[in-house]
Amino acid sequence: MFPHYVATIRKFHKLMPSPGYGKHPMKRIILPLVLLAATPTIAQDDAATPPTAYALETSATAELVALNAHFNGAVKFRIDKQQRLVADYIQGGSTYRTDMAYIDFLDASTCAYNAEQKILILQCQDPRSKCIETEMRKPNASSSVSQMSLPLPSNDPTGEKARQLLAGFVETKQNEGLMRLAETNTRSNGTK
């Protein structure tokens, strides 16, 4: 239970007068009433608490596993040491292209299916920027582009599930970064 509520209840319990009959029957009546009155407050505190950066990181890890499972080997997603989203495009068991982008520069709301090209598109937050680095293996070339163009998984012809998974993953990773920053600032402000 929550320590500050337990301490308040214990303090209240000690202050309760005994009417002199039996072994503290008044405490047995009042204490449950105090607990019932405090319960909605405890529930409201829990509901208003945002997830921690660690909880978001755990959620993002699970979302990444689901995303990779859904793409079934056509594209393999990962986060590298610089906290970039890396998409390895695989054909015939080998990587032919790699896209890399800092998560903070991507716009999850632009993740959409392009019916004409039959691909899933994820764009940069600023359409004029070229926040995605693309490396081609065969001609050994590299370029910066403003969108990722992902092939659709064979089990998702409209790309709807892939869109939900990719956009959700990007949002979770962005929220994790913001929460980690907020937690760091809270800790540093508390020590001053």
For 88-106, write each residue's pLDDT tens digit.
999 999 999 999 999 999 9
* pLDDT at res. 183: 87
* pLDDT at res. 21: 47
* pLDDT at res. 138: 81
DSSP-H helix ranges across the chain: 3-15, 25-48, 53-71, 160-190
**Angle, nearest 10°, between helix axes 160-190 and 53-71?**
160
Rounded (10°) CA dihedral 70, 72, 74, 76: 70
How far apart (Å, rounded) are the C-alpha atoms in residues 187 and 192?
A: 9
**Inter-CA distances, 139 with 20, 91, 96, 135, 136, Å:** 93, 16, 10, 9, 6
* pLDDT at res. 63: 97
* pLDDT at res. 185: 80
Which residue from 105, 66, 73 is spatially nearest to 87, judged by alpha carbons? 73
pLDDT tens sequence across 35-44: 555 555 554 5
How far apart (Å, rounded) are the C-alpha atoms in residues 141 and 152?
A: 24
User: Does the pTM of the predicted model rise above 0.75?
Assistant: no
* pLDDT at res. 1: 42
Regions in the chain scoring below 70 on pLDDT: 1-48, 188-192
Q: Looking at the DSSP assignment, which residues form a beta bridge with residue 132? A: 101, 145
